[in-house]
Structure 1
Amino acid sequence: MKFIGDRPFSDPDAAARKLLDIVRGSINESGLPHAYTGATNTEFTQAGGSVEEYSIGMKHAAAQKWFEIDPSGTRIVLLADGAE
């Protein structure tokens, strides 16, 4: 079995912080009050994260109250703690 080095987003906090950066950038770029989960997922995986790391990072960021996902599951709304 061959082991690979540490993944950059294997730590939930690192994954959540990367997602927070992506969400902030998306909101600033688009001017909308939210980011879309599909675009955020794509950018996260293109940055080297996995789908599992994305999911864990999203849960961690939501638990930290940095952002929340609206009931439809398609939009991420930045909260006050995440805007800082």
Structure 2
Amino acid sequence: MTRTAERPFTNPEAAARKLVELAATIEPVQDGRIHIEKINAPFLYTLKASGREFGAGIKCAVDRGWLELHESGTYVRLLSRGEID
């Protein structure tokens, strides 16, 4: 029997917190916009999360009012930094 490693971002709230943490480290461009690839790439490739975990994390962060996702899906805005803890 093979064992798989525990995935830290299977919980959508944990994924959302990490995405907000990543977004907080990025210098926004025009109008507070953070291009989605700036948080997508480190989350997927550096942290080795899955696309499903990314999607669930974004949805959770939007539902909680931490991020605003543009309807085009190309950028987010960080809405609240201090209210996440």
Q: Above 0.5 in TM-score?
A: yes
TM-score range normalised by the length of the shorter chain:
0.7 to 0.9
State the secondary structure of the residue aligned to 1:3. coil
Q: CA deviation at 1:47?
A: 1.1
The one-letter amino acid of 2:38's match is: A
Q: CA RMSD in A?
A: 1.4
**TM-score of the pair, normalised by structure 1:** 0.83
**TM-score of the pair, normalised by structure 2:** 0.83
Q: Which runs of 4+ in 1 moved over 2 A?
A: none
1:61 matched to 2:65: no
How many residues in Structure 1 have an aligned counterpart in Structure 2?
79
Task: For structure 1, list consecutive stretches of 5 or more residues without a partner in the other structure.
Answer: none
Partner of 2:50: 50
**Structure with greater helix percent:** 1
* Equivalences for residues 17-32 of structure 1 within 5 A: 17-26=17-26, 30-32=27-29
The answer to whether the Cα contact below 8 Å between 1:15 and 1:54 also exists between their aligned partners in 2 is yes
The answer to whether the Cα contact below 8 Å between 2:28 and 2:34 also exists between their aligned partners in 1 is no
Task: For structure 2, list consecutive stretches of 5 or more residues without a partner in the other structure.
Answer: none
